[in-house]
Structures are given as structure tokens and as C-alpha cells.
Chains A and B, each alone.
Chain A
Amino acid sequence: MNATLKEKQGMKSTKEEFLELLSNYQGILHKVCLVYFKNESDRKDNFQEIVYQLWRSFPKLQDKGSIGSWMYAVAINTSISMLRKNSRVDFRETIPEFSDQSTVFDKIVTDERLRLLLNAIHQLDEVDKSIMLLYLEEKRYEEIAKIIGLTKSNVGVRINRAKKQLQQHLKNH
């Protein structure tokens, strides 16, 4: 068997492994997209970009035990990067919330309080959005601190502050 054939087979198995992983954990990507983008088409673009960035960094993933953290980190960083790259997003932020109520969105967000919660999350800044997503996903403070690159106490302060904002928003509506 020559080297090229071996390389191709190795690459194929890596891709298979990556797709298997992605298939199992894709919910993370959908949730990150949901938190960062109001528009279905932006969410689709971002989802594809995240998949690509995950694929690029997959060979460097050494700790297979922290797949979730790796996915959140790449998804959050890519989303923030996409927010600036895509000027359409800035424009669409002025359009009433969830103007494109898609079938998929309606299927996921069936509860009115969840809809309100998502609207409230969209009003947080980019960092607090990601911290609250991780909090809502019941990640431990240590893990959130690791993904965002903050101290544990800083994470705690931010979560408490953002929680108050979200609770206030829900009370007011």
C-alpha cells in the first residue's frame, strides 16, 4: 500500500470520526446559533461556518474528553467573528424580533416564556450571551470559566447580573 493511499484512508477515517462527533453534538451548534442570530438565514450561514471551523481545528483536539467545551469555544468565537463579518446582521438587528418565525423555530420554541427568554438573551452583550447559554445548559462555573477564559468568580458575578436582567425582562412581559 503506498503512502498516498494510506493518507487518504487516514483522512477518510478522520472525517468519519468528525462527522460522527458532529452528528451527536450538533445540538450545541444549533443553540449557539439561536442565541447569537435572530434570522434563520444568518443562523444557517453561521452553522456552516462553525462546522468548517470545527473541521479545521479537529486535528488539534487532543482531549477527547472535553469535546463539548471545544465545540462551545469554537462555536462562540466563530459566531462573534461572523457578527462583524456579516454587515447584514447589523442591519437585521433593527427588524422586529424573530420576524422570520420559521417552522423549525416554531417547533423548538413552543413555550411563550422560552420565546421571551430568547428575546431577553438577544439583548445581552455578546459575552453575556455566551455565558448565559452555558449557564442555561447547566455547565459548571469552572467549565464556563475555561471556555470563556475568565476567572470563576468573574463568571459568577456576570451570571448573577445577567440572570437579574433576564428575570426582569420576563417579569415585565
Chain B
Amino acid sequence: MLNNSLVIIDYKMGNLRSVQKAFEKIGCNAIISNDKDIILNAKKLVLPGVGAFKDGMKHLEELDLIETLNKKVLEDKIPILGICLGMQLLSKKSYENGETEGLGWIDAEVIKFEFDNKNLKVPHVGWNEVIFQDEDNLLFSNIENHKDFYFVHSYYFKPHENVTTTTTDYGFEFTSSINKNNIFATQFHPEKSQKNGLQILKNFWES
């Protein structure tokens, strides 16, 4: 069994191939899987995701992966990178289409963007600046402050503990990436953010 590999968790939510391809580009042969044994042997994990929060949690439950992930991340302290929905799922709960409990690894809620200003459209889609709140975070090494990354989301991650590594301004400054011990996550899509996005994946893989 490959025990030094990066595993992209396949929970039937979105752009797995894009994420895998981006890791391949930086020289990491990532495996896409939802097999518990493969996940248990992974050196690093990626929880990607595009789609609705409720479906995301439902699929993780149906695939019976929650216990495995809790063990890997909370007990074995294996590095994990959540991307977009994969970041939001780390929270305690989301208000997307009712209330849904998340994995609960981070004390945070997921809340819908709502603006009175008609120029601020929802979803927040496109390239926006990422502002460092933690200059030395390893995920952002070799990346300049205020670079643009690709976002596409209608809900934002609101932490109630000090985990924010970057913020982004859309009506207000929301948390665009976090780090807590071995847990990393970005609201933007590094796999779709060209050169700087690939650098983030490289930093995660090589750290």
C-alpha cells in the first residue's frame, strides 16, 4: 500500500480531476479515493469540493468516512487541506438551506453573503486579493501579499477562534484561508488560481 501519498477524498462533490491535475503539475501523484484503507495510509489529505454543504456532509456520512477522517486528522495529526466547500465542512455548522452540522474541527459557522449594495453580487465569483494576516504561514511561502486568487462561493466561513491566515475584502473582510495545527484550508481555489495557486499546493505538499 502506498503510504506516502497524497489522497484527494472522493465524496462525489465536484472538481476532483482539476485538483489532481494541479497536484500532478507540481510533481505530486495524487490519488483520488474514498477507500478507507487508502485514506488511512495517506501521508496528506485534500478535501476538495464544489456544491452544497448539506450534500457534502450527507455524502461523507454515506461513504462512512467521518470516523476515518476524525482519526486521521484529529488523532494522527495528518496534514489536510480543505478547499472551498472542503473548508466550509470543517466548521461546526452551516446555514445553507437550513442548518447542517459540519465536521466541527474548527469553531466556525458558514453564513450566506447578504448585501444591500447592489454592486456586490452573490455568488462572490472571480479573482480577488488575498491579504496576509499571518505573514509566516507556510501555505503562503514564496507568494506575495495581495495576490489574486479565484473565488466562487455564496457562503463564507466565520471562525470563532483564532485560525485566520488571510482575509479577502468583499463588502467586508472575510476569512479566506485558515490554519490550525495540521489543518489548512482555503476558501479560494488554488487549483484554478494559476501560478500562485499551484505554489500553494506545492507548499502544502512539500512542507
**Real binding pair:** no
Q: Point out residues on B near A: beta carbons under 8 Å.
A: none
